Amino acid sequence: SGALEGSNAKRGLWSSRLAFILAATGSAVGLGNIWKFPYITGENGGGAFVLMYLICIAVVGIPIMMAEVMIGRRGGRSPVSSLRLITERDGLRPVWKMMGAVGILAGFLILSFYSVIGGWAVSYVGTAASGQLTGQSADAIGAIFSGLLSDPMTLLLWHSVFMALVMVVVARGVSSGLERAVTILMPALFVLLLIVVGYAMTSGGFSRAAAFLFQPDFSKLTTSGVLVALGHAFFTLSLGMAVMMAYGSYLPKNISIAKTSITVSIIDTGVALLAGMAIFPIVFANGLEPGAGPGLIFQTLPLAFGQMPMGSLFGTLFFVLLIFAAWTSGISLLEPIVEWLEEQKGMNRTVSTIGAGLVCWALGIASILSLNLWADFAPLGFVPMLEGKTIFDLLDFFTANILLPLGGLLVAIFAGWVMSRQAVEKELALSPGAFRLWHGTLRFVTPVAVAAVFVYNLM
Ligand code: PHE
Ligand code: NA
């Protein structure tokens, strides 16, 4: 192994730069890009929010991704062991314990609702394949979606199917077959998105959509919108819960951390922007509401598939590929928990997967009920910022906007202030100027930006 002395040679390394990029892209590209990015962009007024999100990716996301990958490779072990090995200072025990706790908690909470949304995608494979979408009006498409949300048992069924898919792969140990599938299925998803964008260009809403997405109107950007943009930079790049740290531990020493991190971030951002360009023309051409919320893609894309030639085929394929993208992300959410149970609690993989998976699955029921029976239940509604938020909304808000940025803040402090500068410099192998830019950003800009957004939102 190329990691620190004493690290476990059995772990093996990714075969190449490509293998790492595939695994990291598999984790990053998912519902965050295709489901969440368009709907939060719609809710937060478009262009100014998109710009803020891009700034957060560049100034906070990429530096932290580099830091996570660097820590992982330096330690060459699971995140908790790597952090311990790198410092070997017992005084810092609470720090890595806290990072571990943030990662485990975030994994549980995110996967619980992620799987429910993954279940929506599973359900839509059947909807598209059976031709139900063909020639439907926006109202009829909307009714199909509300029908799904109002039916807890159906939601539970598809949530269970999605959760089972994730658990099967994690129980068997994340396989290289999945990596190979990413090489084919991710580009396929990209091509299908391009097809929808192509259709959207003819729909009559394209120029309004382009203006909505890319002409910033800062009067529409609120303080909480900035928090959402920051949180989404973490969520979409799978940062703040040590996923990239775990993957980085397999990266061979001779590969550039900066180049690979930037590549993954560009692919992830590209998919999100493409999803936006596929969805908003349909929104405007059909007089739909950009701020419709979490159902946005399920009320727009089916409309496009119902109108375009070979729409049932494209629609079916699209939702299958969306499930695949969500699946690879779901695996990366469950994997750290299972690894932690194995390593720290000495449980075997099958037992830890079943245990952790069942807890996530059960937690998911609260999100399912938030869509119907508990739709008016806002447990923390007395907090002005959380007014009207269901359990599902709260889980999404708390993980993406609080927990992941907090985890990222710890990573930035750890890599920027705690680790020895020489060790970090050697691991990254950047030119002196590029290193200073990264190090300075991580030490000052990133923590200040995260802290400032937090403080502003509390006031
Ligand atoms: N990045 C994934 C997405 O955009 C979600 C995710 C978050 C995965 C955090 C792992 C860790 O869909
Ligand atoms: Na993403």
User: What average pLDDT does this structure show over 428-445?
Assistant: 96
* Complex confidence, ipTM: 0.98
d(CA 126, CA 320): 10
Tokens 């079916």 correspond to 316
- Helical packing angle, 404-413 and 93-129, nearest 10°: 140
For 292-342, the pLDDT digits (tens) are: 999 999 999 999 999 999 999 999 999 999 999 999 999 999 998 998 898
Where residue 12 falls among pLDDT bands split at 50, 70, 90? low
pLDDT of residue 90: 61
Instruction: Look at residues 340, 318, 412, 323 and name the one whose alpha carbon lies nearest to residue 106.
Output: 340
**Residues 395-401: contacts with CB under 8 Å, at least 24 apart:** 395/109, 395/110, 395/112, 395/113, 395/366, 395/367, 396/113, 398/109, 399/106, 399/109, 399/110, 399/235, 400/110, 400/228, 400/231, 400/232, 400/234, 400/235, 401/227, 401/228, 401/230, 401/231
Atom 6, ligand 1: residue with shortest CA distance:
238
* Residues 105/36, Cβ–Cβ less than 8 Å: no
pLDDT for position 216: 97
Q: Tell me the pLDDT tens digit for each residue of 133-191.
A: 999 999 999 999 999 999 999 999 999 999 999 999 999 887 667 777 888 899 999 99
- What's the mean per-residue pLDDT of the chain? 92
Ligand 1 pocket residue status of 212, Cβ below 6 Å: no
- Between the CA of 35 and the centroid of ligand 2 the distance, in Å, is 10
The three-state secondary structure class of 215 is coil
In the predicted model, what is the mean pLDDT of residues 349-372? 97
Q: How confident is the model at residue 11 (pLDDT cuts 50, 70, 90)?
A: low
Å from CA of 36 to ligand 2 middle:
9
List b or e across 192-216, with b for residues whose CB sees 16 or more CB atoms inside 10 angstroms: bbebbbebbbebebbeebbebbeeb
Question: Count of CB atoms within 10 A of residue 5's CB?
Answer: 7
Residue for token digits 């830890």? 352
Query: CA angle, 54 as apex, 229 and 64 as ends, to 5°?
Result: 80
432 alpha carbon to ligand 2 midpoint, in Å? 31
Please, what is the Cα angle at 61 between 47 and 272, to 5 degrees? 45
Identify the pLDDT of residue 7.
40
Distance of alpha carbon 353 from alpha carbon 170, whole angstroms = 7
Which of the given ranges, 85-94, 228-237, 446-455, has the highest pLDDT on average? 228-237
- Nearest atom in ligand 1 to the alpha carbon of residue 35 is 12
Give pLDDT tens digits for 14-56.
667 788 888 899 999 999 999 999 999 999 999 999 999 999 9
Cα 135 to ligand 2 centre (Å): 31
Q: Find out whether the beta carbon of 231 lies less than 6 Å from any atom of ligand 1.
A: no
* % of the chain surpassing 90 pLDDT: 77
pLDDT band at 13 (very low <50, low <70, confident <90, very high): low
83 touches 414 (CB < 8 A): yes
Query: Tokens at residue 268, please?
Result: 């992830």
Residue-wise pLDDT for 63-94, tens only, equals: 999 999 999 999 888 888 888 888 776 667 77
Average pLDDT for residues 198-224, to the nearest whole number? 95
- Probe ligand 1: pick from 333, 337, 395, max atoms within 8 Å of CB? 333
Instruction: Report in angstroms the alpha-carbon separations of 183 from 13, 25, 177.
Output: 18, 10, 10
Instruction: Spell out the domains of the chain, with CATH numbers in brackets.
Output: 9-458 (1.10.4160)
pTM of the predicted structure, to 2 decimals: 0.94
244 lines ligand 1 (CB under 6 A): no
